[in-house]
Amino acid sequence: MSAGKLHWDGTGEKKYESGISRGVLYKKDSTKAEGKQWVGVAWNGLTGVTESPDGAEKTDLYADNIKYASMRSAETFGGTIEAYTYPPEFATCNGEATLATGIVIGQQTREAFGFCYRTEQGNDENPNLGYKLHLVYNCTCSPSERAYETINDSPDAITMSWEFDSNGIAVTGHKQTYVLTIDSTAFNTTALEAKLKLIEDALYGVDAVEADAQNGISAVAAAEPYLPSPDKIAEIMAAT
């Protein structure tokens, strides 16, 4: 809250968000440890995600000839994913099945998935101010339309798109959620930066590092990328 008169367009306050990168697809693998079952693979060729929340529609109630109260319906969440291609692991999410080597059939059962992506933040002083990580849980998608055309003097690659809906995920102490957003600009201390690294290590995985006593480097075991639940992220943030 402002203690004095409001002012607009101050230096460093003109923020914006742009771009999309570091897409990751997460598929459930029940053989993995609890909490790490949504295993990630890189999604190359991701060009756009449109988030389309819905619901929360108002219904007015009347009594004694006056407006008595207002109620709002439950919220839902979905959107559109656009890409030039998708990882092989997404095939079953897209209703595909392998009939034989190199032969694929469609119109099969569509598996659930999660995904995450990153957008960049900037302002009038610094175009590299920070970034946001968007984590979307428990989705299924509709068939993708593909428009093929002849190669001409203005060639372009085919863009695929999928409409998706999320069934959400439970959050302790809150209503269920569909999407979780992490703002890197809020992690502005050494301790908070370390927590953000732990979250990103979960999302993107960790390469193995061999110990090097001479240079003071400790061994690090490789770790698969997984989609942490909101409760897991809250646990990371609460740890000392």
> CA dist 4 to 1, 7, 9, 19, 207, Å?
9, 9, 16, 36, 51
pLDDT at 38 over 80: yes
Question: How many domains would you assign to the chain?
Answer: 1
Give the global pTM. 0.88
- Taking residues 10-33, what's their average pLDDT? 91
The answer to whether residues 33 and 43 touch, using CB atoms and an 8 Å cutoff, is no
Write the burial class of residue 144 (CB in 10 Å: 0-12 exposed, 13-18 middle, 19+ buried). middle
What tokens does 240 get?
Answer: 């000392």
First-last CA distance in the chain: 30
Write the burial class of residue 152 (CB in 10 Å: 0-12 exposed, 13-18 middle, 19+ buried). exposed
Q: Which residue has the tokens 């957003």?
A: 181
Whole-number average pLDDT of the chain: 89
The reply to whether 45 falls in a domain is yes
The reply to whether 99 falls in a domain is yes
Q: Which domain holds residue 159?
A: 16-61+76-187
Question: Which residue in 135, 119, 136, 17 sits closest to 77, CA to CA?
Answer: 136
Strand pairing partners for 61? 69
Using DSSP's 3-state secondary structure scheme, residue 56 falls into coil
The reply to whether 112 falls in a domain is yes
Residue 205 to residue 234: CA distance in whole angstroms: 19
pLDDT at 225 over 90: yes
The reply to whether 136 falls in a domain is yes
> CA dist 135 to 12, 16, 87, 105, 194, Å?
27, 20, 18, 30, 19
Give the model confidence (pLDDT) of 163-173 as tens digits.
999 999 999 99
What pLDDT, on the 0 to 100 scale, is given for residue 132? 96
What pLDDT, on the 0 to 100 scale, is given for residue 149? 79
Residue 193 to residue 198: CA distance in whole angstroms: 9
Q: Tell me, what CATH number does 46's domain have?
A: 2.30.110
pLDDT at 144 over 90: no
Single-letter amino acid, residue 235: E
Single-letter amino acid, residue 174: H
The answer to whether residues 93 and 140 touch, using CB atoms and an 8 Å cutoff, is yes
The reply to whether 223 falls in a domain is no
Q: Which residue has the tokens 């988030």?
A: 51
Give the model confidence (pLDDT) of 45-103 as tens digits.
999 999 888 878 888 888 988 888 888 888 888 899 999 999 999 999 999 999 998 89
